[in-house]
Structure 1
Amino acid sequence: MAKLLSLAAGAALLALAAPSAHAQSIRFGLKAGANLSNLAGNVVNQSQYNNRFGFHGGVMLNFGLANDLLSIQPELLYSQKGFKYADQSYTVLGNTYRNTGSVRYDYLDVPLLLRLKVSGVFFEVGPQYSYLMNISTDRTQTYNGSVVGTAGSGTSNLDNVNRNELGYVGGVGFQSSQGFLLGVRYNGAFTDFAKDGYSNNDFKNARNSAFQAYVGFLLRGK
């Protein structure tokens, strides 16, 4: 996957820089959709974390090349990621704990995609930079049946997490001749979510993972 992304990024930069590669169309677009996110990687107690639904939306520019068969598409997106607690009990040294609620990560995603479109069907792949803007926690923790802690809609401390993330995107979709878009994609991360030495060992090697479904529209402007 890393080699594929390197090739895609290299092809995108060459296409933009080559004097002979004149953009045949430049289109501005809007998009919005749903995220299904969780933690991936070597996560301790993975069964405690379920998928969480969130929102993403933003703007995009599409630079058409080679009769619009190929295009380069940078995007700027607000994206909600995170996870939902599985609402199950776990026991440590004879004591029973339970977490309920969810954690939301608010990201600014900047993917740079190489796009291939044939008869309306398109495939897209490329690298992505993400910046973590905020963490919101809505959690209730019980200890042997009694509530011992809550965290509601507050902003968590970001000192122990990597706010800058490098990742990758791959997807498929359909684009009508009028510019309407319908697609699905996957977002993965190369960067661990937590910094070295983070006290919560569950997140030590955790990475963001998100499936996305979206609709959008590309204006036919030059």
Structure 2
Amino acid sequence: MKKIVLTMALLAGGLYLQAQQVRFGIRGGANLSSLGEYEHVLLANEDAQLEYKVGFHAGVFSQIYINQKWGLETGLYFTQLGGRDQDRDFDEDYKLNATANYLQLPVSVFREIQLSDKVKLFPSVGIYAGYGLSGKIKATGQIQNIDIAQQQDYFNDFAKRFDFGGTAGVQVGLGNLLLGAGYDQGVLRVNKQKANWDDNAYNSNFKLTVGYLF
């Protein structure tokens, strides 16, 4: 993983030296993240699927133009991922929330498409690497009349710290303002202990973004 991050940084640095234009900006927005088909054990015979939860991301980025239409975008973001589950029926009433805070480095190739004098379109595709900073998993409620009150450290007790995957998105440029949507899909297993039937945890994240270019 360290080699991947180093390669991404060297690639960005090499293109920076050859760039025709470089612009810097800030970006933030909302996340809707999940850990896929993974089911977290609550009791010996009960588990919870860590489905979509709301989080956020914020950071800085740069657009490095190689020519008039094509370029490379990279940045550094604090992003909040994880998953949640809630169930209420005749013998279950519980909530589970897993929150993981990552430092994320994406590198994407983008194309600038001029739609009008004031509007541009920026579709992009690339990869990202992430490092887990902190997080927790908290469960409260009752299952079969048994109280549950569990709390775990996300990375010490459950997850690997390194994450890697693909990213794709599109942005609309309105002057210096950028409005966008994207999706990240992790390809490295998150959970330290491999799950049965290969239903392991993988980070996935839909995101809405607002950015400003200086």
| Structure 2 length-normalised TM | 0.79
**For residue 30 of structure 2, what is the aligned residue in structure 1?**
34
Q: What is the aligned-residue identity percentage?
A: 26
Structure 2 runs not aligned, ≥5 long = 1-6, 41-46, 115-119
Matches of 2:133 and 2:86, distance apart in 1: 25
Is the CA contact 1:134–1:156 (under 8 Å) kept in the aligned structure 2?
yes
Quick one: which amino acid aligns to residue 184 of structure 1? A
Cα offset, 1:16, TM superposition: 6.6
Q: What's the C-alpha RMSD, in Å, of the aligned pairs?
A: 3.1
Matches of 1:150 and 1:203, distance apart in 2: 25
The residue correspondences of 1:69-84 to structure 2 (distance < 5 A) are 69-84=69-84
With over 3 angstroms needed to count, the CA separation of the structure-2 counterparts of 1:112 and 1:27, relative to structure 1, is same
**For residue 210 of structure 1, what is the aligned residue in structure 2?**
205
Matches of 2:192 and 2:148, distance apart in 1: 27
Matches of 1:147 and 1:131, distance apart in 2: 34
For residue 158 of structure 1, give the secondary structure of its aligned residue in structure 2.
Answer: helix
Quick one: which amino acid aligns to residue 217 of structure 1? Y
With over 3 angstroms needed to count, the CA separation of the structure-2 counterparts of 1:180 and 1:53, relative to structure 1, is same
For residue 106 of structure 1, give the secondary structure of its aligned residue in structure 2.
Answer: strand
Matches of 1:148 and 1:103, distance apart in 2: 15
With over 3 angstroms needed to count, the CA separation of the structure-2 counterparts of 1:62 and 1:100, relative to structure 1, is same
Which whole-Å deviations, capped at 9, do the CAs of 1:153-190 have from their partners, x for residues lacking one? x74452542111111100011112x3210000001011
Structure 1 runs not aligned, ≥5 long = 1-8, 91-95
Moved over 6 A (4+): none
Is the CA contact 2:98–2:154 (under 8 Å) kept in the aligned structure 1?
no
Matches of 2:73 and 2:179, distance apart in 1: 15
